[in-house]
């Protein structure tokens, strides 16, 4: 038995990380609040709630927001609880992928890791593109010289600039990212509160409670606009689930940053479910205020066509140019914070997955800079995000109105990739039952009903997000055109097919799951 004086002098966090097979390479400078802050920033109610408002509103009307949001929010909170238990037991940067490898073996880890990585790149792309769109809207609203001159090329250029800035900030310092996320939380809280007050106090009129909580319509193009058929409730309204499911995602960042967080076993676990809970509450209040603020048309009826085109029109018509510019600026700034946080999370996952040899060119992506930041991984995520969003340059008009179908596809890829990656370890933990070695934060016996519900919700929503949400995207309709196609299933299912081939032809022969980066002798000395 080794003498106590000869044992490695490891902190509690370092000791737990050592038991999981890793040495402390990353700088553990994040507080529990900073860990919560990055997921809260990535969820960003000032991003997802506004950029995907049209997806929810057009597929069901006001009820698709006033009822779908809290119902789906409850299911996502259950998903969060199941993941909090997992991160408490395994607080590593690999996060979701590491859990799946530990519980299901190399194959489970391989597919989970790639789904997670695809989802993280897509959410980075989606948030950065949404940020670029809102920067353009802010400038267009403020300056009449830009008004009415929407340009896909201009927005894409702004999008690339956002990616570059987010990359540079991430490369500069990991500690800077922690500080930015702390600032981001208060920007989101104060900004959302300011927007809520503006939407309550400034408009001359508001819609009725009856309109907000009972009005429904079908702008999907399916079913002849019917709102009473079973198809409306079980097909059209679920198309609008993208609004909630995309907004409340990215909370796995708490896991990816756990190796840089103090007291990670508890802090990261609390960070996941708290970021979801506060975002669901805050987002619901914010969205209700937007729906209440929808202006009337010339006939005195709610201007549903204006609202269906997005929140910018609602703000301009209800608030006037100056207040609308103020609201759009707050949202665009929040979305930049969010894009920067997404880049942090995606680069850490790339680093962790490369550390275990799963990404082509792993030797490059796992390298750390002098600031102990995975700078090469950051640049890889930035380039991949830009490439994934190239279809946004294709102009798509529906009834003469430009529709960001490529943006909706990218956000769908993010949701599908991330949530399917979540589902695998959640299900594997359920299969392990009471044999699972829980951490300091756990769900007790509640996992027996929480985990199956979490997996079922993920699978159901993922199927809906792969469906053609507009008739022009349906290959069995006369109005079908390739420019309308939802390429989310092409990317996700195509990637899965390639992964299956890669795994069976090659990867199964060399990929063994997480690799230790710490000398086994250190583990033995510590455990003895």
- In a domain, residue 6? The reply is no
Mean predicted lDDT score pLDDT of the chain: 86
Q: Is residue 18 part of a domain?
A: no
Which pairing describes strands 397-398 and 401-402: parallel, antiparallel, or unpaired? antiparallel
- Give exposure, 494-506, as e/b (b: 16+ Cβ within 10 Å): ebbeebeeebeee
463 neighbors 492 (Cβ within 8 angstroms)? no
Q: 17 lies in a domain?
A: no
d(CA 65, CA 60): 8
* Alpha helices (H) along 433-509: 447-465, 488-505
Adjacent-strand bridge partners of 484: none
Residue 60 lies in a domain: yes
Structural domain of residue 436, as residue ranges? 29-505
Structural domain contains residue 159? yes
- Kindly tell me the sign of the dihedral angle through the C-alpha atoms of 437, 274, 17, 111: positive
Distance from C-alpha of 122 to C-alpha of 285, rounded to nearest angstrom: 27
* pTM confidence score: 0.87
pLDDT tens, position by position, 51-61? 889 888 989 99
Q: Is 236 exposed, middle or buried (0-12, 13-18, 19+ CB in 10 A)?
A: buried
Q: Look at the chain and report how many structural domains it folds into.
A: 1
For every one of its 528 residues, what pLDDT tens digit does the chain have, with 9 covering 90 and above? Answer: 445 445 556 677 677 777 776 676 666 767 778 778 778 888 889 988 998 898 889 899 999 999 999 999 999 999 999 999 999 988 887 678 889 998 999 999 999 999 989 998 999 999 999 999 999 999 988 876 555 567 788 889 999 999 999 999 888 765 677 777 778 888 988 999 999 999 999 999 999 999 999 999 888 888 888 888 888 898 889 988 989 998 998 888 888 778 778 777 888 899 999 999 999 999 999 999 999 999 999 888 999 888 888 899 999 999 999 999 999 999 999 999 989 988 988 898 898 889 888 889 988 988 888 777 888 999 999 999 999 888 888 776 655 555 666 777 788 888 899 999 999 999 999 999 999 999 889 999 999 999 999 999 999 999 988 888 788 778 888 887 877 777 788 888 888 999 999 999 999 999 888 876 665 545 555 454
- Please check whether residue 9 lies inside any domain of the structure: no
- Nearest Cα to Cα of residue 84 among 251, 262, 279: 251
**CATH number, domain with residue 433:** 1.20.1740.10
Assigned domain for 186 exists = yes
Identify the residue whose tokens are 């809207």.
137
**pLDDT at res. 26:** 67
Say if 291 falls within a structural domain: yes
- Please enumerate in sequence order all residues whose Cβ is within 8 A of that of 413, keeping only pairs 6 or more positions apart, or say none: 118, 119, 122, 388, 488, 491, 492
- CA atoms 505, 506, 510, 512: torsion sign: negative
- Max Cα distance, the chain (Å): 86
User: For 306-324, how does the pLDDT look when each residue is reduced to its tens digit (9 = 90+)?
Assistant: 888 889 999 999 999 999 9
Residue 389, SS3 per DSSP: coil
């Amino acid at each position: 038995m080794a003498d106590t004086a000869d044992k490695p002098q490891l902190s509690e966090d370092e000791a737990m990380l050592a038991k999981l097979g890793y040495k402390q390479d990353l700088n553990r400078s994040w507080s529990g609040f900073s860990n919560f802050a990055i997921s809260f920033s990535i969820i960003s109610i000032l991003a997802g709630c506004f950029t995907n408002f049209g997806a929810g509103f057009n597929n069901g009307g006001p009820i698709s927001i006033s009822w779908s949001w809290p119902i789906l929010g409850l299911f996502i909170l259950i998903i969060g609880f199941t993941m909090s238990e997992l991160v408490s037991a395994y607080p590593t940067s690999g996060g979701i992928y590491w859990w799946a490898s530990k519980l299901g073996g190399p194959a489970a880890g391989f597919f989970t890791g790639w789904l997670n990585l695809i989802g993280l790149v897509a959410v980075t792309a989606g948030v950065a593109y949404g940020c670029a769109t809102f920067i353009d809207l802010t400038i267009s609203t403020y300056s009449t010289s830009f008004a009415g001159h929407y340009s896909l090329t201009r927005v894409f250029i702004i999008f690339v600039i956002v990616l570059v800035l987010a990359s540079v900030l991430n490369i500069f310092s990991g500690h800077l990212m922690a500080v930015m996320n702390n600032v981001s939380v208060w920007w989101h809280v104060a900004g959302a509160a300011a927007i809520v007050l503006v939407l309550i106090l400034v408009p001359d009129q508001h819609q009725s409670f009856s309109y907000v909580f009972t009005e429904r319509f079908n702008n999907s193009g399916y079913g002849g606009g019917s709102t009473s058929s079973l198809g409306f409730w079980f097909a059209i309204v679920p198309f609008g689930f993208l609004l909630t499911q995309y907004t409340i995602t990215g909370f796995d960042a708490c896991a990816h940053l756990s190796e840089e967080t103090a007291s990670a076993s508890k802090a990261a676990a609390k960070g996941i479910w708290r970021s979801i809970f506060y975002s669901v509450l805050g987002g619901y209040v914010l969205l209700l205020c937007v729906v209440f603020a929808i202006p009337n048309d010339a006939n005195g009826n709610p201007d549903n066509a204006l609202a269906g085109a997005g929140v910018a029109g609602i703000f301009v018509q209800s608030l006037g140019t100056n207040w609308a510019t103020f609201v759009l600026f707050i949202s665009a700034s929040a979305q930049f914070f969010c894009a920067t946080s997404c880049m942090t999370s995606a680069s850490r996952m790339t680093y962790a997955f490369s550390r275990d040899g799963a990404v082509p060119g792993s030797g490059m992506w796992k390298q750390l800079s002098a600031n102990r930041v995975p700078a090469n991984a950051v640049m890889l995520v930035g380039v991949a995000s830009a490439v994934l969003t190239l279809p946004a340059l294709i102009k798509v008009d529906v009834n003469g109105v430009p529709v960001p179908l490529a943006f909706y596809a990218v956000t769908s890829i993010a949701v599908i990739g991330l949530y399917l990656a979540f589902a695998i370890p959640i299900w594997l933990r359920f299969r392990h039952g009471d044999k699972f070695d829980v951490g300091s934060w756990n769900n007790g016996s509640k996992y027996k009903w929480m985990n199956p519900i979490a997996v079922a919700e993920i699978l159901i929503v993922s199927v809906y997000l792969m469906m053609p949400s507009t008739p022009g995207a349906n290959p069995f309709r006369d109005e079908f055109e390739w420019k309308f196609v939802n390429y989310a299933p092409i990317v996700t299912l195509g990637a899965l097919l390639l992964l299956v081939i890669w795994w069976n032809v090659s990867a199964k022969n060399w990929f063994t799951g997480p690799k230790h980066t710490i000398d086994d002798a250190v583990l033995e000395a510590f455990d003895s």
